[in-house]
Amino acid sequence: MTGQRARFGYTPRAHTIDDPPEQRRVVVVGAGLVGLTLAIDLRRQGVPVLLLERSDTVSVGSRSICQAKRTLEIWDRLGVGEAIRTKGITWRIGRVFHGGGEVFSFDLLPESGHKMPAFVNLQQYHVETVLHARFAEFGGEVRFLNTLSAIEPRDDGALLTIDTPEGPYRIDAEWVVSCEGSRSTIRSALGLGFVGETFEDKFLIADVKMRRAEFPTERWFWFNPQFHDGQTSLLHRQADDVWRIDLQLGWDADIEAEKHPDRVRQRIETMLGHGDFDFEWLSIYVFQCRTLERYVHGRVIFAGDSAHQVSPFGARGGNGGVQDADNLGWKLRRVLDGSAPPGLLESYNEERLFAARENILNSKRATDFMTPKSKTSRLLRDQVLTLAVHHPFARALVNSGRLSLPAHLGGSRLNTPDDAVWQTGRMGPGSPAADAPIRRGAADGFFLDVLGDRFVALTTDPDAPPSIMVGSHRVDVVVLGRDVTDPTGLLSERYDLQPGSMILFRPDQHLALRRRQTDVAALRAGVDRALGREIPA
Amino acid sequence: MTELRDTANFEDGDAFYAALVEAIDRQDDDGAVALLARLVLILANQIGDRAVLHAALDLAVTSEPRRPVATNPETTPSVRRS
C-alpha cells in the first residue's frame, strides 16, 4: 500500500556481546528527519558520529509532509535544500471553507526576496532518502537493523546494548542523542515522563494517489463540510500526485468500522466527487501535546518527537524536530572539542524547551478551535467563521493550524541585549536570521548562504577586519559594500542597517548581538556569551 | 486605553440596552447566543488591547452569580493528563 521506498542493507556487526564495548564519541539513535539532520550536521563539522536505525528503510506511512521555510533553510545549509525543494511541491496559499462555502484564503509568504519558499510539501520518506544520500556523501555510517535495547547512563557517557539480527553487542558512547521518535526506548529506560495532554478526538488520515488531479496546489481546510457533517477535513497535495486527506472522526468513533477501506473510500469519494484514486496509506490516530521537562540528562540528549509531541495541525512536529537538530549540532561539536563550556548544551535545553512549549501552545489552540468541547464553544467558533467571510478582522481568529514558524529565542542567555532601538519588527537577539537577496562580486545570491554555519559578523563599517579570533573561534566579518552588496535594499531594510551597524550571527543563523557602532570588544564579548560562558555547567 | 473602565462610558446606555434586547428577542435561544457571540467578537476587535480584553473576561467570569454546581456532559473535558 505504500509508495516506493529505499531499502538499506544490514552490515554484519564487528562486535559481539562478549567483546569489550565499542568506543564511540557520539551515537545518534534513530535515522528519521531529526537524527539524519543532526548526523549530517555533526559529520560535516568533522565530528565522528554513528547513526543507529532499528529498521532497514526510510519512514513508513503517513508522516510529516509540510517542510517549512526555516527547515528548508537548515537543509540548504547542509546542502540538500534545493534537492528537497525540487522534488517537492511548493505552496503558499491556504484556503478555508465553512459548510458549503469559502471563508477566505491566506498567503503564507507575502514578501519576496527569500531563497526558500514558505512551504514545500514532500513526503517524509522522500526527504529521508535525500538526507541518507547526503550523509553517505560525507562518509557517514548508518547501522540499519540495529535496535537499542538498553542504556546505562554514566557521568561521562553511556553504555548501550544494541540488538542486531546476529545478536547483541555493546557501545560505550561519550554522548547519546535520542532521535527515536514518540516511542523512545531511551526515554522509557531513563524513566522520564511527559507533561501535557492527550486529545480524545480521533482522526482518519489517508494518503491517496489521484489518477486525475483537479485541486490546485493549496492547503484546503473545511469546517463542517457538507461531505463530512459537523467535522473538520483537510486536503493537501504532496509529490507524485499523492494527496493527504485528514478527516476528524470525533471522540467516540468506532475505529475498526471507520478504517475499513470501503467506508473510507466512500467518505473520500464524497469529498472529492470521484473515485479515481488509490490508497497509499490509511490509518486512524489520536495525538498528544506534551514535552519532557528537560532535554539534556547528563550525556543523554533528546530531540524531536522523542522529546516533545504536538498535533499534526501546523506541521510543527517534524519542523520543530529539525530545528532541534539545528540548535544542537553546533553546540555539541564545540562542547566535544572543548572550545565551549558544557553550559552551552544547557542553552539547547532552554531554547528548545521554549520552542516546544510555543509549538505545543499553538498546536493546542488550533486543536481547540477545530474541535470545540461544548455546544456553546462550537457556536462561538462558528460565529467567527461566519464573520470571517466578509470581515477581515475575524480571519485573525480562524485557526486551522498556525503553520510552523521558527521560535524567536528572545529570552535566551546566549543573547546580548540591545542597547538601542532597531526597526526590525519581531526580529531581535535570539531570532532566526531573515533572508534577503545579496550580490557577491558579480554573482547574485542570498544572505543566508553568506552566514553558513559559523559565527559571522555583518557590518557596514568599511574599516572592519576580514575576521577576528575569539579564543579558537574564528568570526568572519562580512562588510556590506565590500564583501557583499544589497542590490534590492532589502537586506538593509530587514536588518535596519545604518552606517556603523554591526550584527553577530550564531552558527545556527540566529542573531546573537547587534550594535549601532561596530565594536570589536563588544563583538568578542558577544561571541563569548553566545558560547554559553555565562551559563553555569 | 490600558485599563478596564468601571464607570459608565455609554453615550446612551438605555438606548443600546433596548436595542440589544430587541435584537436578542427576535431570535430563538441558539440564535440569541450566536448573536451575542458575534457581538463579543466585534467589540473585542474594536477594543484590541490585550490587557483590557483579559481584564474584561476576568470581570465577566468573576461576576458570575453563585449557583449550584451541576455537571454538564457537554462540557466534560475531552483531554486527560498524561
* Closest-CA residue of chain A to B74: A374
Length of chain A: 537
With left for phi above 0 and alpha for psi between -120 and 50, is residue A235 left, alpha or beta? beta
Cβ pairs A/B, distance under 8 A? 52
Which three three-digit cell numbers place residue A477? 566579518
Q: Which residues, other chains included, contact A412 with Cβ-Cβ below 8 Å and sequence gap of 6+?
A: A347, A350, A351, A354, A429, A430
Please, where in chain A does CATH 3.40.30.120 lie?
A: 437-530
Distance CA A71, CA A284 (A): 27
What pLDDT shows up at residue B68? 57
For cell 520552542, name the residue. A355
Contacts of B76 in chain A (CB under 8 A): 373
Query: Which of the residues A183, A393, A399 would you substitute to probe the B interface, choosing the one with the greatest number of B C-beta atoms within 10 Å?
Result: A393
Contacts of B34 in chain A (CB under 8 A): 379, 382-383
Decide: A113 and A437 in contact? Cβ < 8 Å: yes
**A502-505 and A511-515 as β-strands: parallel, antiparallel, unpaired?**
antiparallel
Distance CA A154, CA A27 (A): 15
* CB-closest option in A194, A391, A394 to B82: A194
Distance CA A438, CA A311 (A): 37
CB B34 to CB A373 under 8 A?
no
What pLDDT shows up at residue B1? 54
Q: For the domain bounded by A437-530, which CATH number is listed?
A: 3.40.30.120
Distance CA A104, CA A93 (A): 11
CB A382 to CB B77 under 8 A?
no
Q: Which residues, other chains included, contact B54 with Cβ-Cβ below 8 Å and sequence gap of 6+?
A: none
Short-list A132, A117, A114, CA closest to A57: A132
Does residue A311 sit at the B interface (CB-CB below 8 Å)?
no
- Residue ranges of alpha helices (H) inside A123-222 are 124-137, 185-189
* Closest-CA residue of chain A to B39: A383
CB A374 to CB B80 under 8 A?
no
Determine the distance in angstroms separating the CA of B35 from the nearest CA of chain A, rounded to an integer. 8
Angle between helices A69-77 and A317-336 (to 10 degrees): 40
Walk along chain A (537 residues) in steps of 10 and give the mean pLDDT of each run: 69 92 98 98 97 93 90 98 96 91 89 93 95 97 97 97 97 98 96 92 91 84 87 92 91 85 89 90 90 97 97 91 98 96 96 96 92 93 96 95 92 97 96 97 95 94 94 94 96 97 97 96 96 84
Determine the distance in angstroms separating the CA of A499 from the nearest CA of chain B, rounded to an integer. 36
* CB-closest option in B37, B45, B82 to A379: B37
CB A387 to CB B38 under 8 A?
yes
Q: Which residues of B touch A (CB under 8 A)?
A: 30, 33-34, 37-38, 41-42, 45, 72, 74-82
Which three three-digit cell numbers place residue A226? 457538507
Does residue A238 sit at the B interface (CB-CB below 8 Å)?
no
Distance CA A49, CA A444 (A): 35
Side by side, which strands form the sheet with A195-199? Answer: A308-309, A288-291, A195-199, B79-81
Contacts of A387 in chain B (CB under 8 A): 38, 41-42
Segment B20-67, tens digit of pLDDT? 999 999 999 999 999 999 999 999 999 999 999 999 999 999 997 766
Q: For the domain bounded by A22-89+119-196+289-362, which CATH number is listed?
A: 3.50.50.60
Contacts of B37 in chain A (CB under 8 A): 379-380, 383
Length of chain B: 82
Short-list A327, A15, A334, CA closest to A166: A15
Determine the distance in angstroms separating the CA of B15 from the nearest CA of chain A, rounded to an integer. 25
Contacts of B75 in chain A (CB under 8 A): 373-374
Domain spans in chain B, listed from the N-terminal domain onward: 28-66
Q: How many CA atoms lie within 13 A of A94 on its CB side?
A: 22
Determine the distance in angstroms separating the CA of B5 from the nearest CA of chain A, rounded to an integer. 24
* DSSP SS3 for B44: helix
Reduce the secondary structure of A386-438 to three states and give it as a string.
Answer: HHHCCCHHHHCCCCCCCCCCCCCCCCCCCCCCCCCCCCCCCCCCCCECCCCEE
Q: Could you say which DSSP state residue A353 is in?
A: H
Contacts of B79 in chain A (CB under 8 A): 197-200
* CB-closest option in A251, A376, A387 to B41: A387
* Closest-CA residue of chain A to B81: A197
What pLDDT shows up at residue A261? 87
Please, where in chain A does CATH 3.50.50.60 lie?
A: 22-89+119-196+289-362
* CB-closest option in B34, B41, B74 to A374: B74
What pLDDT shows up at residue A7? 82
Angle between helices B29-47 and B13-25 (to 10 degrees): 140
Beta strand segments in A83-229, E? 89-91, 93-98, 101-107, 119-121, 141-143, 147-154, 157-163, 169-178, 195-199, 202-210, 219-223
Q: Which residues, other chains included, contact A77 with Cβ-Cβ below 8 Å and sequence gap of 6+?
A: A326, A448, A452, A453, A509
A residues 196-215 lying closer than 8 A (beta carbon) to B: 196-201
